[in-house]
Amino acid sequence: MKILISVDIEGVAGVLHAQQVRAGNPEYERARRLMTDEANAAVEGAFAVGAREVWVNDSHGDFRNMPPDLLDPRARVVQGKPRYLSMVSGVEEGMDGVCMVGYHSRAQGRGILAHTINSFAFAAIELDGKPVGEAALYGALAGAYGAPVLMLSGDDQLARENEALFPQAVFVETKRATGQNSGISLSPLEACAAIRDGVTRALRQPDRPQPLCWPEPLVVTLRTQAPAMADLFCQWPQFERLDGCSLRFEAATIEAAVRMLNCCSAMSAMLR
């Protein structure tokens, strides 16, 4: 059994504020270690039930948050960007399943530090008219490679938004959102124990969840944070402007959709 663990930071226990997720802040240094601890808990859970190979994908920001020397030495580590499959890079290597650790609510959601891909650029994303966040986007991308989402951890809103998409997955609630920057969290030790147990339970299920297969081709609707951002993105001839801040485009596959969104995210840096 070969497992990919994709690790973000906003859903990590004890992480509540933007200063904790941005490099250069003292609080970030502590948060990145909490992120690493939750990744290690997931790795332990996977190996405990017989995984022969576990890959850890650093999936936040510039994708180089977790100090490699602090990660479980049994795991292979995917870090750095750009990379075509972004938060699920490694899934193309024949993974039997994906665990999403430290994930969060979508843009316009009620969760802690809710956003989708890039909070500076994107106000909301829809696939075929359905609002989606990173769990849905990358769960569908993993599904295109035949890998089901087995387990997700984060706040209560993550589960509320994604239970219908991943009905057989194990959801581990590490904190409960009371606002964009407030919540009630498990202690780091409790959260790691819950994640370890959640991965173990997910991999022991007698009936493995089915991969999320999004119908293709698909229509992506993107609402930007400002009209200037839509001006920039619509330099891409394939994009159709809907109003001051909204645009849409068609993608032949979910992989094409995700890669185009990540290109827009990278383009947005010129407006900072």
Neighbour count for residue 30 (Cβ, 10 Å):
14
Question: Which pLDDT score, from 0 to 100, does residue 5 have?
Answer: 98
Buried b (16+ CB within 10 A) or exposed e, 106-125: bbebbbbbbbbbbeebbbbb
CB 247 within 8 A of CB 238: no
Could you tell me the two tokens for 220? 């992506």
User: Which of 213, 211, 221 lies closest to 128 in space, CA to CA?
Assistant: 221
CB 261 within 8 A of CB 125: yes
Taking the whole predicted model, whether its pTM rises above 0.95 is answered as: yes
pLDDT in tens, 158-202: 999 999 999 999 999 999 999 999 999 999 999 999 999 999 999
pLDDT in tens, 74-123: 999 999 999 999 999 999 999 999 999 999 999 999 999 999 999 999 99
Neighbour count for residue 252 (Cβ, 10 Å):
10
CB 23 within 8 A of CB 40: no
- Contacts with 150 (C-beta within 8 Å, 6 or more apart), sequence order: 3, 97, 98, 99, 169, 170, 199, 202, 203, 205, 208, 209
Q: Parallel, antiparallel, or unpaired: how do β-strands 122-127 and 97-101 relate?
A: unpaired
Q: Which domains does the chain have, with CATH numbers?
A: 2-117+133-204 (3.40.50.10780), 218-271 (no CATH)
